[in-house]
Amino acid sequence: MVHFVETVGALDAWLTSVRASAASVGLVPTMGVLHAGHEALIEQARRDCEHVVVSIFVNPLQFDREDDLRRYPRLIEADLETCRRVSVDTAFVPSQTEMYPNKPTTRISVGPLGDHLCGAHRQGHFEGVATVVAKLFNIVRPQRAYFGEKDAQQLAIIRRMTADLSVPILIIGVPTVREADGLALSSRNRHLSLGERQQASALFRALEEARRLIEGGTVEAGSVVRQALEQIPREVGLRVEYLEVVDPDELQPVERIGGPVLVAGALWVGDTKLIDNVVCEPTGQQS
């Protein structure tokens, strides 16, 4: 039985009783349209925590384009069925007016960690993410919170926010779940047509090529990126938004690769933006 809660007040009352008996609460914040990637987060939370809360909230603060917000898929009945199947204890599904009864003026600003990768292309996106996550942390007050490594920049920013603001929550990153051809699971994949779906794994192939080059000793990031991009065919409907080599904590561009790096890319396939990344390092340096 999933306990279904729609208001902050009801959640607070419910979790007060939960905390009296459960040693630990885990939070999996989502925007819904749950897939096997989310299930991996929930399963990890299930292993670590006595009580698992999944939040489902499509957060308007993190959309820079009104049409993207409108187009973002919503499938609440199927999501609750998924929650039941994977033994979520509590599903918190607030409305927009419940989360933002007044127009919020406070934002968490994320500094240089938001300057590159997706941050360079989606104005205010990570501010919106960090703000709603801080709010969900305050509402649920879990011991642990779970985020996918697929959204590497988001994960690094949440980790940094948590450290900088002394948020008493352990942040757990969970490895990306992929289709057989390497495509990272994403709620946005459902927008892909059959043809687009076949094109979509090119991003993964480019990232794997970058990994092969870096582990093989290529140190010049520009050269890695140029060769990796050759994996992405010059076809109609495919457009690389970025493919960058950055350091994994500060998310700043790396020119010569001398340690662990994050290689992250965004590929538009038709009208759908897909992102993915790998973390790798020169083989001699692996610890």
Residues interacting with a second copy, by CB under 8 A? 8, 12, 102, 104-113, 127, 130-131, 134-135, 138-139, 141, 160-161, 163-168
* Alpha-carbon dihedral sign for residues 35, 37, 40, 41: negative
Give buried/exposed letters for 131-159 (b at 16+ CB in 10 A, else e). Answer: bbbbbbbebbbbbbbbbbbbbbbbbbbbe
Give residues with Cβ within 8 angstroms of 1, minimum separation 6. Answer: 84
Minimum CB distance to a second copy, residue 126 (Å): 11
70 burial (CB, 10 Å; 0-12 / 13-18 / 19+) is: exposed
**Rounded (10°) CA dihedral 147, 150, 155, 156:** 160
- CB of residue 232 to a second copy, shortest distance in Å: 32
Residue carrying structure tokens 């999501």: 79
> How many C-beta atoms surround the C-beta of residue 102 within 10 A?
6
Closer by beta carbon to a second copy, 8 or else 229: 8
Nearest-5° angle of CA 19, CA 54, CA 99?
A: 90
Residue 41: CB minimum distance to a second copy, A: 22
Q: State which residue, 95 or 109, has the beta carbon closest to a second copy.
A: 109
Is 51 a residue of the active site? no
Helix H or strand E encompassing 89: none
Measured distance CA(63)–CA(251) in Å, rounded: 21
Closer by beta carbon to a second copy, 166 or else 287? 166
Distance (Å, rounded) from C-alpha 264 to C-alpha 91? 31
In whole angstroms, how close is the CB of 91 to a second copy at the nearest point? 18
11, 60, 134, 150, 211 from 162: Cα distances, Å: 22, 22, 9, 19, 29
The residue among 81 and 164 lying less far from a second copy, judged by its C-beta, is 164
Q: Whole-number minimum distance, CB 109 to a second copy, in Å?
A: 4
Q: Tell me the closest approach of the beta carbon of residue 267 to a second copy, in angstroms.
A: 28
Catalytic residue among 38, 51, 116, 125: 38
Look at strands 272-280 and 144-148 and give their pairing.
unpaired
User: Pairing relation of β-strands 90-92 and 3-5?
Assistant: parallel
Residue nearer to a second copy on the CB measure, 132 or 200:
132
Which of residues 54 and 274 has its CB atom nearest to a second copy in the complex?
54
Would you name the residues annotated as active-site residues? 38
